[in-house]
Structure 1
Amino acid sequence: MPWRTHVHELGFLAVVVALAGLLVGTSLSSYRGDRALTWALVAGEGERLFHRLRELPRPESAQAGPPRPEQLVAGQAALAAEGLLRVAVIGPGAEVLAESGPAGPEGDALVTGVARLERPLHPPRPQHPPRGDAPPPGDGVLPRLLLEYEPRLALDLQHRARRDLIASLAVAAALLIAGWVFYRLRRRAQLAEEGLAERRHLAALGELSAVLAHEIRNPLASLKGHAQLLEEQLADDPRRHAKAHRVVDEAVRLEHLTNSLLDFTRADRLATGVASPAEVARRAAELTDPARVVVDVAGAPERWSFDAMRIEQALVNLLRNALQASAPPAEVELKVVDDGDGLRFTVADRGPGVPSEMRPRLFEPFVTGRAEGTGLGLAVVRRVVELHGGKVTIERRHGGGSVFVLWLPPGPQEAK
């Protein structure tokens, strides 16, 4: 993916995260303000009920003095519809002089739904300083009125604030999810577009390679044959014989290149059948250097559905690369195993390893780390494996070297 496109997509995702964070921050700030207002409403509702209770009409005989506790307790029934739950008169010694019912639950009023307010039963009389030997006044402790009530407005405000906070958090979460989904879909679409462009490029490259290989093959065969005849005729002239031998060598190298081009163009045609992975691995070793290839087929299944000829060709390419990377007499290991999810071929060499900068492009056509390489061997391997629905990867080998892993998914026969 082009880095500019990736930066733009990350920038969009950052904007979405910033907007979601701003929404969450604003919602939390509003919720804290609503909480403060809620407690003010709790106190205000209590004061309103206290004054309403004091203003209730009393008998004519009780107009001159303060309201009696029994009268105030009886007033609770009149204000029950407004949220008053209990009235209690507390004496100077904290004893309950009268009450309208049992005490409610203790705790946070916004959690239990019961708030409390305690006020003097009537305003205290003004205290005057004693004169001369007059006795000091009383301790000034007056009966107190305790109200227990349901702060309905405060609870409603709290419910609305909590609902708005949850809604804001849900919107922020939905915004983040939508942004992430858009980012992933956009990235997937970009990768699919790049893959399609690469397949088109490979298809065009394959067609061009096929045309070049067929056009070059016939004159190259004629050139090679005449050069070999000339080499034989100049056997008595070492100087000219060496030049003719070089022409033959270059013709052979061009022949290998044309064969590689043809293999690359033919790799998109499969002839799938049931074959023995162990036999395919052994034939690939025989076609390279059997003396230096150690084949381990102890974990190989008896049969597998794949194009045996194409997989053999891919293994031969991997083994040749591994043998060229490993200095003689170092051995190369070829292992075949059914890992439970699919068929796995591993080719391990003892070479210097693949440079990290070459790994992303190692399986692309005409990419090679050798001066005499064509860069088509690993491209053929990847094309064959991907047509089987599998994948080929490279890993570092512990102790030095590289490990190529060729994995094939189970076919219809193995799926049963």
Structure 2
Amino acid sequence: MFRKAILLLGVAVTCCLLWFAVYDYRQAGPIARENLRGLALSLTTAIEKLAANDPSLETLHSFHPPDVAYFALVDRRGVYRFHSNHDLVGTTVAHGSAKESALLNWSETSVVLGTGERAYQFASPVNVSGEPFLLVLTLHTYRSDAVTRRARLNMTIVVALVVVGWLLSLGLSRYARRQERHEEELARREALAKLGEMGAMLAHEIRNPLAGIKGFAQVIAAKPQESRNGAFAQSIVTEAVRLESLVSELLLYAAHEPGTPNDFLLAPLIEHTVSLCGPDAGNGNVGITLNCPADLLVRCNRDRIEQALLNLVHNALQAMAQGGELCVIAAPSGKNAVITIEDNGHGIAEEHLPLVFEPFFTTKSRGTGLGLALCKKIVEANGGKITLKSRVGEGTVVTMVLPRAR
């Protein structure tokens, strides 16, 4: 969606730039023509005043503006009464006599000079000492052509910039896409490597209980009537339950759906979770302290959060085999709810802290290593985060941050 929005924005900007460049170029011609017409009107007024001040028209011979190619005054008979070229004074207009009606109207046209230059010709009626004349004014188009050339250059630059911009964008897009594919390939390889490592650890975890089950079953099969077979059968059941627990945790960790979030009070959930572990805490001589506001609402999947809390409380109780104190505290913090599970058990070595949330990492002799990894996945799937701090001999503090209900 973001890429489509960027593409649409680029197309819109490109269309605007191209429209502006074409519009500016198309307006350059009329603007240049208006500039020439304005200059011609100004020169006509100046020539008319000079001619009125000097009826002999001799003063006009010294009038040489740089933009004027030539100018002439034609009477109603079509005779040049004045021309920038002295040799043409008194001659008749080559295209015929100037009629009375022609002296009453102005016109403008484009002409080609003898040098091959294209010029602008402006004809306007003027009055000199009460006698009507037709002023024929021919102007060079240097400055007006410069306006057109500048507009053409601007359009060329804009089009070139747009083309270069799109080529650069295309190149960057291809580079970004290739980089993205490269990162995806690296992530896939890393996932495959983790999967291989996970498979090896899973095979190791499953092989140990299977070996025990196989050995006990062989003893029972060899001497089915012995009295000790009852204990062996119980060992088979214990190992089978261990395998079932491992498979269940593995399936939970592999699940992708976080479940539908809903709003619920956190205090009853914590009390219920701790009550489930109450017998283990009593047997282990562990005191439990709870502190949670009665009205603290969170928005998560209740069953998954209960599962994560149960794992964390169970881990804390296991860390205090010789007894201790477990504190479960929840409090609001802005838009989040913070749950702290603190124990004073044996703690975790500093070198193991970066690995505690990795699947199948465990320091227990019979642990699966999926408990904390599963807790992390559940919490993050519900829009929260989990952290762990621990020191050997001092205990462990696990902090869960969950989104509060709006």
**TM-score w.r.t. length of structure 1:** 0.43
Higher strand share: 2
- Structure ID, larger Rg: 2
